[in-house]
Structure formats: structure tokens, C-alpha cells
Amino acid sequence: MPKGTTMKRSIFEIEKNIPLTKDVFEMVLSGDTSGITNAGQFVNILLDGYYLRRPISVCDYDEGTLTLIYKVVGKGTKAMSEMPVGTNLDLLVGLGNGYDLSKAGDHPLLIGGGVGVPPLYNLAKKLVKEGKKVSVILGFNKKEEVFAEDIFKNLGCDVTVTTVDGSYGVKGFVTNALPESYSYFYTCGPEPMLKAVYTASTSEGEFSFERRMGCGFGACMGCSCKTITGFKRICKEGPVLKKEEILWEK
Amino acid sequence: MGEIDTKINLLGIEIDNPIIPASGTFGYGYEYAELYDINMLGTFSFKGTTAEPRFGNPTPRIAECPAGMINCIGLQNPGIDKVISEELPKLKKVFHKPVMANISGFSMEEYVSNCKKIDKVDMVGWIELNVSCPNVHGGGLAFGTDPDNVRNVVKAVKKIIHKPLIVKLSPNVTDIVAIAKAAEEGGADAISLINSLMGLRIDLKTGEPILGIKTGGLSGPCVLPVALRCVYQVAHAVKIPVIGMGGVSSAEDVIEMMMAGATAVEIGAANLINPYACKEIIEDLPRIMEKYGIKSLKDIIGGRK
């Protein structure tokens, strides 16, 4: 069976919902996470008063809890950020393919930009557990927007933070901080960053994409993209695509 | 509860219930077959199929609105030959009932040749002719907005097929009754309606339309009253059966649609929000029928008898 066939719909309860920066929040939910099989998958959240679900990448999970780090980008996510502890939410979990850990090699590099950082956390955790030497580059616009540096450091990863304005860490883009060698890379972030990583990277790797979605489970064809290996649905055959199959649009 | 009868007869084929996932929201079935036994459905209408494989429109193809969504997928599909040689054999393993084949086209010749091919497939019970896709240029809607075009394409298709023909109509017209009558005159066995309503949303940051081709088809609960009105008007104007759709999301909506004149009911956007929507509606239907004292759904088509 292809990956992503373990989708489950269930009710989760908010355990924690706190701001990490001005517009980035951490939400911890309790419920049945058994549908999640891989780092880099996402959940699709039904919000009262909004028709379409909100797809959010999974930052971390264990048997009974799920951690999401999300950015307030519109009315729906704003409403999410105001939900009190104890609120019940209807989630589809276990969506998408996620990252392929078997490719990592001995010293994989993880590159995250903005809210592309969260899905790399569970990946880092798993790679560290496998005994890999994990390097992480986290890119932000400015110091006030930096989050998650501490949690990656606590895993024992070698963490570099970049800010575009130089107000924290290395000045510039994530590509200004690429190390000389790494066995493989995994990245998630805004598309211009992904394109820059695609060009600057010196190894094979995987990219996680974001798209406006209808259903999130492969039915509506709303998030299709063209790849070297044919048409793919970002929600089903993605959100993670391998470097060698990517066709950049435009 | 034993006396509750949800069966209906759809153009000579008895189906267990009138619930039919609408084309474009149910793929070729197997995404949902992984979630529940889709054999509980009356049937379903598969993804609109064209002669050639199509990628569809540039993304974004989806935007939200209050109580609904707009989409401009643009008939992404593998093409009729691959549907027949790959998708349907795969579907046959998980779905053992007659399926409704949704057929699109860009010319009279294409509609005819697609229908000729699909008519030969055993597991196809009905052909639903999509003359109303709002998201492709030069096809679909161009046929569905002109009574003469509708009459001619229906006539041409009817001449070469043996299975019952359902003609799916657009609400984006001045007089939907005139189009429905033209389809009936052309020899349609049934009418299905409504396809999505043309809509638009703008991104306040860029000032530009959100969708890749600017406009898209509006669907979801916000269109239910428009759909009920269209079904009601058409059902009163034609003698052939009408399949109602548009914003149906609950067993109550199904009953309302049937009272408006629908023999069966297609369910679209609701599947995308809740992948179990049709399963839950089918399970809920007997309870809601009992609540309103309805013994058989056959008794409420076009109002309570």
C-alpha cells in the first residue's frame, strides 16, 4: 500500500496553545495519533465557522499527543490561536508521505525557513535516535521571529540560525550557512528558499512543499503539481518531493 | 425501523439508497475505499473524463468562502483510455456496483467518441454527460449554456450509446428550464444539476484573484438554496427524472432535495471536508426518515404524497 493510507479522523483536545513569537504559536493536542506514521506528515484541522480544513505540518508526536507549531496567516489561524485549553478539534491525521529517513546517511543536514522549521523537529529527533550526526540551519527574517533553536539544541543537533537582517546569528539566507559537506539534506520553507537550496545544495535531498488544498487526502486534485515522474498531489504523493523529481514552475 | 425503505430506481437500476458522491469529489473511488466500504453508496460519479490526459489548471485551484469553496481544477484526469484500462479495473476490486461515468469533452466529436468507449464498459451503469464545467475554456460550459448545443450533443450521444444518459447542467445560465427541456428533447434519460456556480475571490495582499485562472466554481452549503430552486423548477418542467446536487451535507438536505423533485442526490464538497460524509448520511437517513414519518423515499420525490 502507498504511504498516506493510514489517515484517521478523530477528535483531539487542546492541552496547550501558547505564542512562541508575535504570530507563531505552539499547540499541543491530545488524542489518537496512531494514523501518523512518518516525520513530515501533516494534519488537517476543522475550525468552527470555516469551511475548509487547515493543513498544518506535524512538529512532533508520541502515542497520545501531537505538537503543532503554526503561524497566524489569516482569520482561520487567528481563530486557532485564540482557542482555550480544553477545546475539542476535529482532525484528519496521518496525511501525506513525509520524509524518507533511509536516505539520511551519517551526517544529514536539515534546513528550515520560518514555519517550515516545525516538521523538521520530529525528523531530527528520529535521526538523532538512529545515531546520526544531525546539522540544522534555521532561517528567519529577524531576531524577533526566531523560534525552535533551543529544542533542536536540546536534541544534540549542531544548530545554525540565520537572519536576513543580521539581527541574530549568521546574516543572510540559509544558503549562506551551508556547511562544506553533508550526506543528504531535508528542507521545508517558503518556495524561494526551496529554490535557493535546490541550486546551492551539493547532495541529494528532499523538499517539503506547501499548497492551498481542498481535501488534504487526494480526492479533489486541488494541489496537483508537475514533476519529472509525472503529476503528483502535494497532499498525497507529497508534501515531500525528492530533489531529482522536482520541476520548478514558471 | 425494518419498514424504512431507502431504495430508489434510477433509470432501470435499483440502488440501495439515493446517495451518490458527485464527480470531482470522489476521484475514481479508491481514496475513499481505503476509509470505508464504498459499496454502501447508491453509486458514485467518477472524475470528469476527457479524451486526452489533462493536468488541469495552474494552482492555486482552491479558495475558501463563507460556507463553501471555489475551485478551478480544470478536469485533471488520465484520459478515457487509461481510465478504462487502469482506473476502472482497479476500482472493480473494491466497488461491486454499477458506477456512474462522468464524461466531458471539448467538441461534439469528443463527447461522442468518449461516450462510445465508456458505453462498452460493463461496470458503467449510467453515463453522466458534463456539459457544464465552468473551469475549462472552449468546452464544457460552452455547450451547456446554449439550448441548441445541448439538444444536438445529447442527440448525437444518444444515437450511439445503450446505457442511460444523464445530462449534467450548469446554473450559470439565464433560464435553466430551457436548457433542461432542450436536453429532454435531445433524448436525455435524466437531468442532473447543479454544477458549480461561477465565482471569484481576491487576495487582499496582491489585489489579484486567488485562483490560477481567476474564476472558479462555487460549491458547498452556500449553494444549497440555488440548487433546490433549480431542481424544483426543472423537475416541474420536464418528464424525465432529475438528480439533485449542490451543497447537500446532511440526511435532512437529501430529503429536502428529493422533496424539491430529485429522484437521487449527489453529494460533492461535503466529501472533501468530511471524507466520511456520505457514509454518515446513509447511516443517518433511516433515523431522519422515521423522524418525519417517511416510510419510503419513493414517496417523497417532488413533495409528500
Whether residue B217 is contained in a domain is answered as yes
| Rounded CA separation A52/A235 (Å) | 14
User: Do the beta carbons of residue B147 and residue B179 sit within 8 Å?
Assistant: yes
- Tell me whether residues A219 and B271 touch, CB distance under 8 A: yes
Give the distance from CA B138 to its chain's centroid. 21
Q: What are the grid coordinates assigned to A181, written together? A: 559537506
Whether residue B2 is contained in a domain is answered as no
Which ranges in chain A are annotated with CATH 3.40.50.80?
101-208
Write down the pLDDT at residue B3: 81
Write down the pLDDT at residue A230: 93
Q: Is residue B232 scored above 70 in pLDDT?
A: yes
Average pLDDT over residues A170-189: 96
The domain that contains B285 carries what CATH number? 3.20.20.70
User: Do the beta carbons of residue A144 and residue A122 sit within 8 Å?
Assistant: no
Residue B138 burial (CB < 10 Å; 0-12/13-18/19+)?
A: exposed
Whether residue B271 is contained in a domain is answered as yes
Question: B137 is in which domain, residue-wise?
Answer: 8-299
Residue A22 burial (CB < 10 Å; 0-12/13-18/19+)?
A: exposed
pLDDT in tens, A190-209: 999 999 999 999 999 999 99
Whether residue B38 is contained in a domain is answered as yes
User: Do the beta carbons of residue A31 and residue A43 sit within 8 Å?
Assistant: no
As a whole number, the mean pLDDT across chain A is 95
* Among A217, A224, A249, beta carbon nearest to B31: A217
Q: Is residue B138 scored above 60 in pLDDT?
A: no
Name B248's Cβ contacts closer than 8 Å, sequence gap at least 6.
B224, B227, B254, B257, B265, B266, B267, B268, B270
Indicate the CATH number for domain A101-208: 3.40.50.80
Q: Is residue B147 scored above 50 in pLDDT?
A: yes
Question: DSSP character for B40?
Answer: G
Q: Taking CB atoms and an 8 Å cut-off, how many pairs form between chains A and B?
A: 91
Chain B: residues touching A (Cβ < 8 Å): 24-27, 31-32, 34-35, 47, 55-56, 58-69, 71, 73, 76, 210, 220-221, 271-276
How many domains would you assign to chain B?
A: 1
Q: What are the grid coordinates assigned to A237, written together? A: 504523493
Q: Is residue B137 scored above 70 in pLDDT?
A: no
Q: Does A51 touch chain B (CB under 8 A)?
A: yes
- Tell me whether residues B76 and A221 touch, CB distance under 8 A: yes
Whether residue B239 is contained in a domain is answered as yes
- Tell me whether residues A213 and B62 touch, CB distance under 8 A: yes
Position A4 confidence tier, pLDDT thresholds 50, 70, 90: very low
Which ranges in chain A are annotated with CATH 2.40.30.10?
8-95
Task: State the catalytic residues of B.
Answer: 133
* Among A7, A9, A219, beta carbon nearest to B26: A219
Write down the pLDDT at residue B144: 84
Q: Is residue A3 scored above 50 in pLDDT?
A: no
Q: Is residue B100 scored above 70 in pLDDT?
A: yes
Interface test with A, best of B54, B218, B272 (most A CBs within 10 A): B272
Q: Is residue B1 scored above 50 in pLDDT?
A: no
pLDDT in tens, A62-103: 999 999 999 999 999 999 999 999 999 999 999 999 999 999
| Rounded CA separation B224/B245 (Å) | 8
pLDDT in tens, A217-236: 999 999 999 999 999 999 99
The DSSP result for A161-207, as a single string, is EEETTSSSSEES-GGGG--S--S-EEEES-HHHHHHHHHH--S-EEE
- Tell me whether residues B61 and A212 touch, CB distance under 8 A: yes
| Rounded CA separation A97/B186 (Å) | 48
Amino acid code (one letter) for B179? I
pTM, entire model: 0.94
Region class of B150: left (phi > 0), else alpha (psi between -120 and 50), else beta: alpha
* Architecture per CATH, A8-95: Beta Barrel (2.40)
Residue A176 burial (CB < 10 Å; 0-12/13-18/19+)?
A: middle
| Rounded CA separation B34/A9 (Å) | 13
| Rounded CA separation A162/B79 (Å) | 47
Whether residue B66 is contained in a domain is answered as yes
ipTM (interface predicted TM): 0.93
